[in-house]
Amino acid sequence: MRLSRYFLPLLKENPKEAEIVSHRLMLRAGMIRQQAAGIYSLLPLGLRVLENVCRVIREEQNRSGAIEILMPTIQPADLWRESSRYDDYGKEMLRITDRHERDLLYGPTNEEMVTDIFRSYVKSYKDLPLNLYHIQWKFRDEVRPRFGVMRGREFLMKDAYSFDLDYEGAKAAYNRMFVAYLRTFERLGLKSIPMRADTGPIGGDLSHEFIILAETGESQVFCDRAYLDMEVPGIDVDFRNDEEMASIVEKWTTPYAATDEMHDESDWSKTDESDRLSARGIEVGHIFHFGTKYSEPMGATVTGPDGKQHPVSMGSYGIGPTRLIAAIIEASHDDNGIIWPESVAPFGAAIVNMKPGDRGCDEFSDSIYEKLSNAGIDPLMDDTDQRAGAKFAAMDLIGLPWQVVVGPRGVASDVVEIKNRRTGDKQELSIDTAVHRIV
Ligand code: ATP
Ligand code: MG
Ligand code: MG
Ligand code: MG
């Protein structure tokens, strides 16, 4: 992409409405535009990052055995009447009436709808386990939408739903998602900590929030420092091996970690005082086993090996991709702007042509562009005639992992300068060596 032909509306000033750094940087880097309280358009750079975040989420959901579908944003109220949640959900639900006076709603979550899909087709335990997920916009009329996409009213969610014959099966499904979440957040460059979370009236120990520690987080959390050094399961982890899954979950739930609502001082005091970490955190994911809460009232049953009908045991598993963009920035930035992890960077590298129109500079820039593109790195070429300071500031702000600077002096001696955005390290290299370093 050539910057002169792109749509990258950078802001020079710090927007007054932004209280936290991620919101400020997303506005300044031209990633989002607010259209109403808590409702945002994604501009080209923001959309690229969101698509990358979703790609990583999808890959790990698919790897764990979940299957993607796409349910609509608008749902009939009648489904929610079956589970009694239509009245219970309260003011966070956006209720809509169509021209025939039928009650609809903009989905805040999809348990009822996915249970309806399940009960329409699946009749036997032989078709289990099943885990269906989608990535779809949700609407929750939050009392206090704030911090940009961190707490929006319309936001994207990946929500998965597992169906099993019994608790044992449901627990295995829960464990697979637990491991998939560890891997997902790690690939997004984040250190996530699974923390015991509220299970409401259902009880049990199968509810975890995945928390990113950050001063700007809205949750108060308590955990053992041991989590900061724990190693996340690698790509060779076997999701079909229930025992392997269970032992990973065991390991990741042994040190103390709980959110405010679940915090227990006497348990906490068993952790060595120097290892106790009391901090603020961002909830980026939540996994939850709720058994037959929806399958029973909605009649989602399967025939078991005993020939009898059993309501299926279910769980749901959410991740917020739009909130994640903000969480990644909270975790990875400096005074000059965003520092994208490679997995989600909107472009793989910036090529800064210091003197567009100069034959040597243009040739070098085009050559690097082509070589990076051929190697599968999508570059953004700054071919504008802004002054040097403005160019560098813009590239630091949007935070691509690498900057390749092409200037007349370097061209004369056959080198370009590459800068690593994270470390700030700069090196003068030949075109081929520079490309090789980035790829
Ligand atoms: P919170 O405690 O922040 O209100 P929640 O517990 O209500 O979140 P869940 O119902 O568990 O959210 O939804 C799953 C995921 O969806 C959350 O872990 C979060 O990543 C994301 N999410 C929830 N609400 C919002 C929101 N208002 N804006 C952006 N993402 C959200
Ligand atoms: Mg909420
Ligand atoms: Mg929550
Ligand atoms: Mg939650």
- Least distant ligand from the CA of 110: 1
| Strand-strand pairing, 402-406 and 349-353 | parallel
**Tokens at residue 384, please?**
């504008």
Closest CA to 407 of 350, 349, 351, 347: 351
Cα–Cα distances in angstroms (integers) from residue 29 to residues 24, 350, 384, in the given order: 9, 14, 17
Whether 155 lines ligand 1, by a CB cut-off of 6 Å, is yes
Cα–Cα distances in angstroms (integers) from residue 155 to residues 46, 112, 123, in the given order: 13, 19, 34
Closest CA to 107 of 89, 94, 88, 119: 94
Quick check: helix, strand or coil at residue 425? coil
Q: Is 261 exposed, middle or buried (0-12, 13-18, 19+ CB in 10 A)?
A: exposed
| Interior angle at CA 395, CA 393 and CA 399, nearest 5 | 115
* Tens-level pLDDT at each residue, the chain (439 residues): 999 999 999 999 999 999 999 999 999 999 999 999 999 999 999 999 999 999 999 999 999 999 999 999 999 999 999 999 999 999 999 999 999 999 999 999 999 999 999 999 999 999 999 999 999 999 999 999 999 999 999 999 999 999 999 999 999 999 999 999 999 999 999 999 999 998 876 667 799 999 999 999 999 999 999 999 999 999 999 999 999 999 999 999 999 999 999 999 999 999 999 999 999 999 999 999 999 999 999 999 999 999 999 999 999 999 999 999 999 999 999 999 999 999 999 999 999 999 999 999 999 999 999 999 999 999 999 999 999 999 999 999 999 999 999 999 999 999 999 999 999 999 999 999 999 999 9
Closest CA to 180 of 253, 245, 107: 245
Q: What distance in Å separates the CA atoms of residue 352 and residue 384, rounded to the nearest whole number?
A: 9
Which residue is closest in CA terms to ligand 1's atom 8?
283
Q: For ligand 1, pick from 23, 199, 323, 328 the residue to mutate: most ligand atoms within 8 Å of CB.
A: 323
Upper half-sphere CA count for residue 134 (Cβ side, 13 Å)? 15
Distance between Cα 286 and ligand 3 center (Å): 8
ipTM comes to 0.99
